[in-house]
Amino acid sequence: MIRNRNVWILLTGEFIAGVGLWLGIIGNLEFMQEKIPSDFLKAVILAIGLLAGIAIGPLAGRITDQMKKKTVMLASGFVRSISVVFMLIAIETGSVWWMIVFLVFIQMSAAFYFPALQAAIPLVVKERQLLQLNGIHMNVSTLSRVLGTAIAGIFLTMMSLSMIYVLSLTAYALLFGVTWLLEIDEKQTKSLPDEAKKLNTGFKDVFPIIKGLPIVLMTLVLTLIPLLFIGGFNLMVINISEIQDSASIKGWIYTAEGLSFMVGAFYIKKLGDRFSPYSILFTFSFIIGISQFLLYFADIPFMTILAFIVFGFSVGCFFPTAATIFQTRVPKEFHGRFFSFRNMLDRLIFQVVLLLTGFLLDMIGLQLMVIVFGILSFSMTYVFYVKFRKLKTGSSLKETPGGDLA
């Protein structure tokens, strides 16, 4: 895999795009802190962009299955670059409305890019290499996030907010250039059975596939647990910064969570060789709940950092395992629509959690909110585990260590 040219191109592109993305996210938070006092209103504005991504999801999935993955990635990368111009206008005019236009376009481009990327990964490596590549890919993504947030934090003290977005635009332009170098063998798409081609109409074709694969359905449901934390991540970081009256804690949180995520994503290959995928998913779902309870002590810097370290390591193990299950169990001819559906589902849950987080932060505060979220995570993990045991006992689902599932 280390000699695979396409792997290096995908990883390089992910790193460049990640740095640009997180420069923009930190810029968004800075802009909103200056213009918008309410946490709930911040959540509403962020949710508008997510809603646009959800609305275009079915079209994105259909197009991803019908066209070459590289073409879809190039087109979405171009739109992502153009969207930054709207944010530059927002800064120049001080208008939140132009920021909303920026969020809509960048989320729409992401609705195409990420399903195409997830569908492309199984085309560039062998199936037995997928878990390792997913871990490495997420590590690169996290490294770009750590560096992007660190660079943004430093640059905000050295240059204007507009220049932060110019750097973000430069990163997106580099991603567009790197994507041109991809050489993916997509003969699988051209040789699909006639029945699969006829079915290439939308999400309604994916639902029977999901229903017929209990392992895929169960994994989809389990991903709700980390999303309960991730959905309000940025709002919680802002709130913790205000509780501790410290701007620097934001950088420490992103860095600690990012580095621990990388450790988890690096270590998952060893865990995958010893334990079944569902042992990994259920264990770390439970630990995510623990990390939420730890944030009850958000007024203590050490406990705050510890909570995000625990969470980062947990999702670093959780997400590569879930991604590998999806890539290996869902038929390749449905990858575009499936990953678009999953992307849309994630965005919908993200949006609900984002609005809920903003509302609860305004109404009951961070410390009571994380207790509610922790109880929800524990309850959901227990319910899903009981259902899983019933499936396993009924021979509807079989699993073995090392990631072999039937």
Distance CA 350, CA 366 (A): 18
Q: How far is CA 127 from the centre of its chain?
A: 22
How many Cβ atoms sit within 10 Å of the Cβ of residue 273? 11
Residue 404 covered by a domain: no
Burial group, residue 198, by CB count within 10 angstroms (0-12, 13-18, 19+): exposed
Task: For residue 126, give the CATH number of its domain.
Answer: 1.20.1250.20
Number of structural domains, the chain?
1
Residue 314 covered by a domain: yes
Distance CA 241, CA 379 (A): 29
**Residue 116 confidence (pLDDT):** 81
Per run of 10 residues, the mean pLDDT along the chain (length 406 residues) is 76 80 77 77 77 77 79 87 89 87 86 80 72 72 72 74 84 84 65 45 68 79 84 82 79 82 81 79 90 90 91 88 80 72 76 82 87 89 80 55 45
Residue 280 makes CB contacts below 8 A (sequence gap 6+) with 268, 271, 272, 317, 318, 321
Distance CA 390, CA 396 (A): 9
406 DSSP assignment:
-
**Residue 309 confidence (pLDDT):** 93
Residue 286 covered by a domain: yes
Handedness of CA 29, 359, 343, 118 (dihedral sign): positive
Residue 138 contacts residue 1 (beta carbons within 8 Å): no
**Residue 234 confidence (pLDDT):** 77
**Residue 307 confidence (pLDDT):** 92
Distance from the first to the final alpha carbon of the chain: 26
Residue 60 covered by a domain: yes
**Residue 308 confidence (pLDDT):** 92
- SS3 assignment for 188-249: HHHCCCHHHHHCCCCHHHHHHHHHCCHHHHHHHHHCHHHHHHHCCHHHHHHHHHHHCCCCHH
Q: How far is CA 113 from the centre of its chain?
A: 12
Residue 190 covered by a domain: no
**Residue 310 confidence (pLDDT):** 93
Residue 108 covered by a domain: yes
pLDDT (tens digit, 9 = 90+) per residue, 317-371? 888 888 888 877 877 777 767 777 777 777 778 778 878 888 888 888 888 989 9
Residue 176 covered by a domain: yes
- Report the SS3 class of residue 399: strand
Full residue range of the structural domain in which residue 102 is found: 5-182+200-397
Residue 195 covered by a domain: no
Element (H, E) at 155: helix 130-156
**Residue 1 confidence (pLDDT):** 59
